[in-house]
A and B are shown apart, each in its own frame.
Chain A
Amino acid sequence: MIFGQKNEDLTGWLNSSTIFWQSRLHLKSIQMTKFRCKAALRPMYFCRDALLLDMDFLDRYRDIVPDFKAFRAIQSRPLFSSARINTLKINKDLLLERLCEEAVPYQIFDWYPLGLKMDVESPGKLVENLLGHIHIQEELSMVPPLVLGPMPGESILDLCASPGSKTTQISAMMENRGLVIANEPSLARIAALRSNCERLGAMNVAITRYDGRNFPRGSFDRVLVDAPCSAEGRERRGPGVIERSNCKRSLDLSVLQIGLLKNAIRLTKPGGVVVYSTCTYAPEENEMVVSAVLNELAIMNESDEAEESAKAHLERVMISGLQECPGISEWNGHDLGQEMSLSARYYPHMNDTGGFFVAKIIKS
């Protein structure tokens, strides 16, 4: 064991780390070139295309992404602004009327009646946003709360809450009845979370500040784990994410993600729902995390070691109107189990969105 890596992964890790350092050195020179390009060519998407090397990292997904060429091409196209109508403060018809009055061009999502695509330069400065009638939120970020399906009166835990887009969506779905515990370890990010909850009029949200892996106690109907991730799916929103990505970082993050998901399952009532989501394509942070946690639970059950061991299984994730790909059941020679195909991968070129991964786990 070196640096906590298992022996079988060692060769792969050594290779990837060498590549990592080489690429870091290389990146520096690229960044300098890019800096000069940036000044000369705006918007920066032009120079991104000129430096295709940035995208080479995506090559590892060549075998799992259908229509890889389109997937790669769409990365350099910026995303439309999108927003969610906050039904806690205004009804949909009145809001649409207001947007028409202010001549804001919008289009309602095909798959979600409360989601809007907007063609505005800075949607955050719209008076509707300042008054909390809408919330600027990425299109696919509205999926996990819908998969979670909170009902009024239930108790919900959002383990990685900040900045509160999903938390407030859950609160709106519960019509402010019941309880949402929004957990966020960073004090600086709690400020943003609180500000959003208050602006949007979410009155049933209590904020805690624990490390999600050690969240102490509770028995929740539903738990959302929107885990910290390498955020490769955000490339269209903030270019440069993919060039910073590397396998080592994904593996590091997966340790944290496994800890979070294990604790989330522990905190759920029997029969409750855990939704695990990330905005990355890396299987190390997606299917491998879910599969590792479910396997561990299964082993614990067989040996009956722990008293609080529980069974859990996946349920199919499907949102009508959104085209998804099934989760992968094999990666780099690791068998992740057929069950993983029940989770959903959303790719940018299929729905003209960002990238996302969602898995729905039922504790039994």
Chain B
Amino acid sequence: MSQRSSRVRNVFLPLDLAEVADLWHTRFGIRAEAFSGYRFFKKAKSIWAISDVELPRLSYEAMGMRIMNCKDRPWKPTTAALQVFGKYAARNLMHLDVDSARIFLEGKSQEVSEVVASQCEPGYVVVFYRGEVLGCGLYSHGLLVSQIPKERRLAGRGE
């Protein structure tokens, strides 16, 4: 079997719910109940979540949604996952106004005031606008760097 064979590449190892929930609780204050009803798997350096169902014995390319990237430290939540679980966050979150939300969705970096970032420690944060999660941002030294995937960014004005 070659190294590239899908049977070698696509190994999803089951993970314990508590293990994943603990990481999210430490960083975002999300309670473990938010994750009940899901199963978790680890493939390479990523963690995936799928609705809790019996899975037939097949070779899978993807299981539900990729929710965390553990390649670097600290781990990074995916924007897609924050749009599902981010609403339960109790810390490390910020609410943007209309203009900064637009800049964020365009994928640009911006300075944010201390008032806006009052609930944030440096690192990955959940970005809200009108009470709705926009995605993942990286906050440090008063700067918010948008982590919105390139294909999901708004076209900038005047471009």
Q: Once the chains bind, are A125 and B154 in contact (CB under 8 Å)?
A: yes
Q: Taking CB as reference atom, which chain B residue is nearest A200?
A: B80
Q: Once the chains bind, are A199 and B58 in contact (CB under 8 Å)?
A: no
Q: Once the chains bind, are A205 and B60 in contact (CB under 8 Å)?
A: no
Q: Once the chains bind, are B56 and A197 in contact (CB under 8 Å)?
A: no
Question: Smallest distance from the beta carbon of B89 to chain A beta carbons, Å?
Answer: 16
Q: In whole angstroms, what is the CA distance A210 to B57 when docked?
A: 13
Cβ contacts under 8 Å, A207 to chain B: 60-63
Q: Once the chains bind, are B84 and A203 in contact (CB under 8 Å)?
A: yes
Decide yes or no whether B53 CB sits under 8 A from chain A. yes
Decide yes or no whether A361 CB sits under 8 A from chain B. no
Decide yes or no whether A317 CB sits under 8 A from chain B. no
Q: In whole angstroms, what is the CA distance A203 to B63 when docked?
A: 8
Q: Once the chains bind, are A206 and B151 in contact (CB under 8 Å)?
A: no
Cβ contacts under 8 Å, A176 to chain B: 51
Contacts known (A179-B51, A204-B53); A217 close to B61, Cβ less than 8 A: no
Q: In whole angstroms, what is the CA distance A130 to B65 when docked?
A: 17
Cβ contacts under 8 Å, A216 to chain B: 58
Decide yes or no whether A92 CB sits under 8 A from chain B. no
Question: Smallest distance from the beta carbon of A181 to chain B beta carbons, Å?
Answer: 7
Q: In whole angstroms, what is the CA distance A207 to B53 when docked?
A: 14
Question: Smallest distance from the beta carbon of B97 to chain A beta carbons, Å?
Answer: 15
Contacts known (A179-B51, A198-B78, A217-B57); A206 close to B64, Cβ less than 8 A: yes
Q: Taking CB as reference atom, which chain A residue is nearest B58?
A: A208
Q: Once the chains bind, are A205 and B64 in contact (CB under 8 Å)?
A: yes
Decide yes or no whether B155 CB sits under 8 A from chain A. yes
Question: Which B31-83 residues have C-beta < 8 A from chain A?
Answer: 38, 49-51, 53-66, 78, 80, 83
1/0 per residue A188-226: CB within 8 Å of B? 001000110111011111111110000011100000000
Cβ contacts under 8 Å, B151 to chain A: 195
Q: Once the chains bind, are B84 and A208 in contact (CB under 8 Å)?
A: no
Q: Once the chains bind, are B60 and A208 in contact (CB under 8 Å)?
A: yes
Decide yes or no whether A255 CB sits under 8 A from chain B. no
Question: Which A216-240 residues have C-beta < 8 A from chain B?
Answer: 216-218
Question: Smallest distance from the beta carbon of B141 to chain A beta carbons, Å?
Answer: 28
Cβ contacts under 8 Å, B57 to chain A: 217
Q: In whole angstroms, what is the CA distance A206 to B12 when docked?
A: 12
1/0 per residue A154-171: CB within 8 Å of B? 010000000000000000
Cβ contacts under 8 Å, A202 to chain B: 64-65
Contacts known (A130-B152, A130-B153, A208-B60); A203 close to B55, Cβ less than 8 A: no
Which of A130, A177, A195, A197 has its CB near the most chain B CB atoms (within 10 A)?
A130
Q: Once the chains bind, are A203 and B38 in contact (CB under 8 Å)?
A: yes
Q: Taking CB as reference atom, which chain B residue is nearest A88?
A: B84
Q: Taking CB as reference atom, which chain B residue is nearest A89?
A: B83
1/0 per residue B133-156: CB within 8 Å of A? 010000000000000000111110
Which of A132, A177, A206 is in CB contact (< 8 Å) with B63?
A206
Q: Once the chains bind, are A203 and B62 in contact (CB under 8 Å)?
A: no
Q: In whole angstroms, what is the CA distance A178 to B55 when docked?
A: 10
Q: In whole angstroms, what is the CA distance A262 to B65 when docked?
A: 31
Question: Smallest distance from the beta carbon of A315 to chain B beta carbons, Å?
Answer: 26
Decide yes or no whether B105 CB sits under 8 A from chain A. yes
Decide yes or no whether A127 CB sits under 8 A from chain B. yes
Decide yes or no whether B6 CB sits under 8 A from chain A. yes
Cβ contacts under 8 Å, A125 to chain B: 154-155
Contacts known (A198-B78, A218-B56); A206 close to B62, Cβ less than 8 A: yes
Decide yes or no whether A100 CB sits under 8 A from chain B. no
Q: Once the chains bind, are A209 and B6 in contact (CB under 8 Å)?
A: yes
Which of B59, B66, B134 is in CB contact (< 8 Å) with A198?
B66
Decide yes or no whether A131 CB sits under 8 A from chain B. yes
Question: Smallest distance from the beta carbon of B71 to chain A beta carbons, Å?
Answer: 17
Q: In whole angstroms, what is the CA distance A181 to B54 when docked?
A: 12
Q: Once the chains bind, are B58 and A130 in contact (CB under 8 Å)?
A: no
Cβ contacts under 8 Å, B59 to chain A: 208-210
Q: Once the chains bind, are A132 and B83 in contact (CB under 8 Å)?
A: yes
A-B contact pairs, 26 of them (CB 8 A): A125-B154, A125-B155, A130-B153, A131-B134, A176-B51, A177-B51, A178-B51, A179-B54, A179-B55, A187-B61, A190-B61, A197-B65, A198-B66, A198-B80, A201-B65, A201-B80, A204-B51, A204-B64, A205-B50, A206-B63, A207-B61, A207-B62, A208-B61, A209-B6, A209-B61, A217-B56
Knowing that A181-B58, A206-B60 touch, tell me 20 more A-B residue pairs with CB under 8 angstroms.
A125-B155, A127-B105, A130-B153, A131-B83, A132-B83, A179-B55, A187-B61, A198-B66, A201-B83, A201-B84, A203-B50, A204-B50, A204-B53, A204-B64, A206-B55, A207-B60, A208-B58, A209-B61, A210-B59, A218-B56
Sorted from nearest, which 7 A-B pairs have the closest CB atoms? A204-B51, A198-B80, A207-B62, A179-B53, A207-B61, A209-B61, A130-B152
